[in-house]
């Protein structure tokens, strides 16, 4: 499972965002995972091995067992994982994409167990089922609309088909040349760049055309249209990658997943930055900004990102720190009193008192920051132990003060 920080917290303006511990959203050996546009599902692709067929006595190159490719759908709301499509191992998934709305995902794959490969297109539905829509002997490209639930399916270089939300494919639309790419105008309509003819330098010259979705006709365009812009993230930037880390002997690397305030002034602003995982890849926020998805040790995991009021969070952190320091001061004071009981009522000397009382605590972290006030003293001569200070630990806005009777009180500065 992912190695996650105990407190993955990002401070953004007047809010603090907590990143919860991760939950598995798929199986091992996952090669990719993507969110649905409505943030409800995670679509993942992995290699599944039937371990019952593995021959452990065979050489490693011969004991892989029976393998297949699985395309799975994880329902974040219900925490339910469903295998939608199972493919033989010779079928390799190329790309995965969702239509707007999250009702349908498209998976392109290549079957390469023959001299000329086949290219396949699968549909995966919200219910966790899937079906093969297309199998051809030319490469398939998917161009999904950013504004409406449809996609253009490029077959080879000169053929196009329209895929509707009910996973129906239109008749083939022949193109006047090789399809270079597809962009989308501000209304979400497709603009095709087709390379037909030759430029003076001998390279294909692209021409533009809008596709009339009702008739399937291409309408020439003479000027580059304004293109569709995805709204930028307003809260977080995500960094996921390999980071070198110095070690006592040499150096090592960690696959870090880091969340950062998208409006932070600098990368050194640690208040707006949180390390979510030291073993994660392919991180992405859900479209609604409430979940974080990444792949850790081959397993896709999701973490809830929960906002709370920053002042409330800071007040709670201070209260927790005060409670911790009071507890530490209490344990250290009791250790001093036990030491005194074994040493003719004398408290330990100032210099190395922590070493002297360690057998009574056995945790140096508990003693951290404790300032001994009554060192080398005879407790039998203390007239009022309830008000005689034994020592203290300084904290936020005050200190945890331990007294000679073993009691501890918090005193504000």
pLDDT in tens, 258-282: 777 776 654 445 556 778 888 888 8
Of 5-9, 117-121, 122-126, 270-274, which gets the smallest average pLDDT? 5-9
Asked if 121 and 162 touch (Cβ cutoff 8 Å), the reply is no
Give DSSP secondary structure letters for 57-125: TS-TTT---EEEEEEEEEETTTTEEEEEEEEETTEEEEEEEE-TTSSEEEEEEEE-SSSS-EEEEEEEE
In 363-402, which positions are buried (b, 16+ CB within 10 angstroms) versus exposed (e)? eeebbebbebbbbebebeebeeeeeeebbbbebeebbbbb
Average pLDDT over residues 50-73: 67
- Which tops the pLDDT comparison, 101 or 154? 154
- Tens of pLDDT, residue by residue over 193-219, are 887 654 445 555 568 888 888 888 888
In 208-224, which positions are buried (b, 16+ CB within 10 angstroms) versus exposed (e)? bbbbebeeeebeeeeee
- State the pLDDT at residue 250: 67
- Which tops the pLDDT comparison, 353 or 237? 353
Angle at 195 between CA 193 and CA 198, to 5 degrees: 145
353-361 and 310-341 helices, crossing angle to 10°: 100
Average pLDDT over residues 295-304: 92
Three-state secondary structure call for residue 209: strand
Q: What letter would DSSP give residue 248?
A: S
Instruction: pLDDT band for 113, please (50, 70, 90 cuts).
Output: confident
Asked if 48 and 54 touch (Cβ cutoff 8 Å), the reply is no
- State the pLDDT at residue 294: 93
Instruction: pLDDT band for 245, please (50, 70, 90 cuts).
Output: low
Calculate the CA 207 to chain-centre distance.
Answer: 40
- Percentage with pLDDT > 70 across the chain: 86
Over 70: is that where the pLDDT of 1 sits?
no
Asked if 154 and 97 touch (Cβ cutoff 8 Å), the reply is no
Q: Count how many Cα atoms sit within 13 Å of the Cα of residue 97 in the half-sphere of its side chain.
A: 20
Give DSSP secondary structure letters for 161-190: EEE-TTSPBPPPEE-SSEEEEEEEBTTS-E
- Tens of pLDDT, residue by residue over 174-197, are 988 889 889 998 888 899 888 765
Q: Which two tokens stand for residue 173?
A: 């639309």
- State the pLDDT at residue 3: 44
Q: What letter would DSSP give residue 252?
A: E
- Percentage with pLDDT > 90 across the chain: 53
Q: Which two tokens stand for residue 287?
A: 């479209």
State how far the Cα of 44 lies from the Cα of 81, in Å rounded to an integer: 10
- State the pLDDT at residue 161: 95
- Which tops the pLDDT comparison, 314 or 243? 314
State how far the Cα of 131 lies from the Cα of 394, in Å rounded to an integer: 65
- State the pLDDT at residue 151: 94
Over 80: is that where the pLDDT of 66 sits?
no
Q: What is the separation, in whole angstroms, between the first and last Cα of the chain?
A: 43
Instruction: pLDDT band for 33, please (50, 70, 90 cuts).
Output: very high
């Amino acid at each position: 499972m992912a190695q996650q920080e105990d407190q993955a917290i990002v401070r953004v303006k007047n809010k603090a965002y907590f990143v919860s511990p991760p939950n598995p959203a798929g199986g091992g050996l996952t090669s990719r995972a993507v969110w649905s546009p409505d943030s409800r599902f995670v679509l993942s692709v992995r290699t599944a091995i039937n371990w019952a067929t593995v021959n452990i006595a065979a050489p490693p190159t011969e004991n892989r067992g029976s393998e297949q490719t699985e395309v799975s759908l994880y329902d974040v709301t219900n925490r339910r994982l469903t295998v939608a499509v199972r493919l033989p191992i010779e079928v390799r998934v190329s790309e995965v994409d969702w239509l707007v709305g999250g009702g349908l995902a498209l998976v392109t794959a290549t079957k390469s167990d023959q001299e000329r490969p086949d290219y396949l297109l699968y549909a995966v539905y919200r219910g966790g089922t899937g079906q093969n829509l297309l199998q051809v002997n030319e490469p398939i490209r998917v161009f999904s609309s950013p504004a409406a639930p449809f996609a253009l399916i490029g077959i080879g270089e000169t053929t196009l088909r329209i895929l509707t939300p009910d996973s129906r494919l239109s008749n083939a639309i022949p193109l006047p040349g090789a399809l270079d790419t597809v962009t989308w105008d501000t209304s979400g309509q497709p603009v095709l760049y087709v390379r037909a003819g030759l430029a003076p330098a001998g390279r294909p010259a692209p021409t533009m055309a809008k596709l009339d979705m009702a008739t399937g006709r291409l309408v020439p365009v003479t000027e580059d249209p304004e293109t569709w812009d995805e709204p930028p993230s307003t809260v977080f930037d995500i960094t996921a990658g390999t980071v070198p880390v110095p070690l006592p002997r040499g150096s090592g690397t960690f696959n870090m997943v880091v969340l950062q305030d998208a409006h932070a002034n600098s990368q050194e602003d640690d208040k707006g930055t949180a390390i979510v995982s030291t073993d994660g890849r392919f991180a992405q926020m859900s479209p609604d900004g409430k979940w974080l998805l990444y792949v850790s040790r081959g397993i896709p995991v999701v973490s809830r990102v929960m906002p709370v009021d920053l002042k409330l969070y800071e007040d709670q952190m201070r209260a927790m720190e005060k409670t911790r320091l009071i507890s530490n001061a209490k344990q250290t004071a009791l250790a001093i009193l036990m030491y005194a009981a074994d040493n003719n009522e004398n408290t330990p000397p100032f210099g190395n008192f922590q070493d002297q009382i360690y057998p009574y605590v056995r945790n140096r972290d508990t003693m951290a920051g404790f300032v001994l006030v009554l060192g080398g003293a005879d407790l039998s001569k203390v007239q009022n132990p309830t008000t005689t200070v034994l020592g203290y630990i300084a904290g936020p806005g005050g200190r945890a003060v331990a007294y000679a009777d073993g009691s501890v009180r918090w005193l504000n500065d």
